[in-house]
Structure 1
């Protein structure tokens, strides 16, 4: 009888510890393994002009038609060949715990600044239950192809090292819908049933190919792109919600002129501001809690907005599998020099 009492007491103590442990202590993650964790096939297709040279079964958006390109007036400019590819250059954490850096091994730092604690909550409106959630996120500069010297003979890659560029814990608008409206006042145009119903078309388009850039307010199958903060109004699962946060994060930074595009003819000569984000210029793959393998579509990365049901099985699990890290691949069209100044 005493043994049973001790067992019940130990079980109750364990439940109390797990159930009431502060969320700030729950931080998990790992450093990316560039060999095994990155979806290397996602840099394809590689194209010259509009002609794909290496496709590897990967999807692509339109490329510049002409293979010959030029940057700057002669004799100070350059003449080259127009090359298209997808560059793995950005990394994103989406985490439940403020100051939890999933991509830095799950370390917690900087908690002297207060930030709302992300969570998932459930409400019941009439007969329909609705889950909502809030996450924090971190944006890293990570030009993998450059620092691994995979394509060391080209000037088309972003040159630099790994860097933490933006954390939402220091952004008051990330946790406040009213402050977020300052950055996205157009939310009032799309806060109606007709506009939200149109997002079904964006979901279908993203699942079959790429999302529809005209439907800026839609996050494809993941939900609404607005507000541009960490509040997810329809939380289905961690993979779905974190994929939506990733999209919002990219759009937010583009609107703040902190992220840039590099596709099309303007991309020939370098990156350029794109405050109105073309959602088609990014693809992404999961790094943590499990490196994304090939889903039912045979690919290990996907465009923004594509349904996560194709690849999310087993990617979220209790305790250590509820914080996420993603690699983002952005479309590049650049002018590889054959004559003129080096860069």
Structure 2
């Protein structure tokens, strides 16, 4: 197994040191690094679709929505023409931490000294406009190219050649902790972040429970609540549901900021996705307890969350820190260049 170094992570650590924010080992942030062999659900790469029609390895029984791609593809990239067959699969490519303690990185077993202790930390005692309980968590987005790190399927042209990297942390993003500032990137929240609009999410919740969510209802996250606002505050006190919802919101937010591109829509390359296609993403809980399912966005935790957050068990601070492996759809044009 080979882990490639990341110049971005090294540069980030150097910047933090210059700012006087040293990395330290903190008891509540201790944790073991993810093991790609044992901690990732390898059945989640299925189903694999070839030629836009043939589906193989559908172990979970959920038929993913397919846009009926033509069986033959032709792509022009960098002046080179590739003619081949359309292939799509699900790739474990990212991981997302949702944590209660600001600047705490349990997956790295370390933390950054908080310049103002207690500032930006998570909570579950806030109240929304309807009097319900809110949960706030920070999120960390990592590049985790499992196939590349383990030298698997290296002949596939659509696999990115990246190394492990901490790519985004919400503690330094003022939009994540302030719903009013987040209006700058999600002005449509005025239309959808209200109880009336959420009534339309019932079909999305049903669809996610039976298979995959409805992409047309992009403002919904099924049983996980509203996709808006794109911040770290969500109207739910159930820790599993709230953290799953915040991990999903992170995907929507990064797509809106053009930092996450959709790899499952075009066989010739990734495309910008300011409005996400939820059906292209699935989450597997890896901490505090490893799950064996790849969960579509919005599926009720009653179907997959039992025993995944034991009180005081399965690791330090397990009731407030979660780790999710993101499995995304990847569509390729596999062939040869004449």
Give TM class, smaller chain. 0.7 to 0.9
* Larger fraction in helix: 1
Whole-angstrom CA distance in 1 between matches of 2:97 and 2:301: 17
Out of 115, 118, 137, the position equivalent to 1:112 is 115
Secondary structure of residue in 2 paired with 1:104: coil
**The residue matched to 2:73 in structure 1 has which SS?**
strand
Aligned equivalents of 1:212 and 1:91: distance in 2?
Answer: 23
For residues 230-289 of structure 1, the C-alpha deviation after alignment (integer angstroms, 9 at most, x for no partner) is 111222x2110010001110000000000000123xx22221211111111101101111
Deviates more, 1:307-316 or 1:151-160: 151-160
Structure 2 length-normalised TM: 0.84
Please show how residues 136-175 of structure 1 align to structure 2 within 5 Å.
136-175=138-177
Secondary structure in 1 matching 2:161: coil
Q: 1:335 aligns with which of 320, 333, 336?
A: 333
Please name the residue that 2:291 is paired with: 292
Aligned to 2:198: 196
CA contact 1:83–1:336 (8 Å) conserved in 2: yes
Q: Distance in 1 between matches of 2:304 and 2:218?
A: 24
Q: Which runs of 5+ in 1 are unaligned?
A: 1-23, 294-299
Take 1:68 and 1:233, find their aligned partners in 2: how far apart are those partners? 45
Number of residue equivalences: 305
The alpha-carbon deviation at position 63 of structure 1 amounts to 4.8
Number of the residue aligned with 2:66: 62
- 1:289, 1:324 within 8 Å by CA — same for their partners in 2? yes
Shift of 1:61: 2.2
Could you tell me which of 293, 303, 311 is aligned with 2:304?
311
Moved more, 80-89 or 146-155: 146-155
Q: Distance between the aligned counterparts of 1:251 and 1:65, measured in 2?
A: 24
SS in 2 for 1:213: coil
Using the alignment, how far apart are the partners of 1:48 and 1:79 within structure 2?
A: 14
The 5-angstrom pairing of residues 1-343 of structure 1 reads 26-58=28-60, 59=62, 60-72=64-76, 76-105=80-109, 107-112=110-115, 115-121=119-125, 130-235=132-237, 237-264=238-265, 267-293=266-292, 300-319=293-312, 320=316, 321-322=318-319, 323-340=321-338
Q: For structure 2, which runs of at least 5 residues remain unmatched after alignment?
A: 1-25
Deviation at 1:124, TM superposition (A): 11
Quick check: 2:251–2:260 contact (8 Å CA) kept in 1? yes
Deviations 1:89-126 (A, max 9, x none): 11100000011112213x2125237741111116699x
Structure 2 counterpart SS, 1:35: coil
Superposition TM-score, scaled by structure 1 size: 0.83
Alpha-carbon distance change, 163 to 150 in structure 1, aligned in 2, over 3 angstroms: same
Query: Which one has the largest radius of gyration?
Result: 1
After superposition, the Cα gap between the structure-2 partners of 1:110 and 1:166, relative to the gap in structure 1 and judged at 3 Å, is farther
Q: In the alignment, is the contact (CA less than 8 A) between 1:30 and 1:288 conserved in 2?
A: no
CA distance in 2, matches of 1:272, 1:123: 37
Matched-pair contact (CA < 8 Å) for 1:138–1:167: yes
User: Distance between the aligned counterparts of 2:294 and 2:97, measured in 1?
Assistant: 16
| Partner-residue secondary structure (3-state), 2:31 | coil
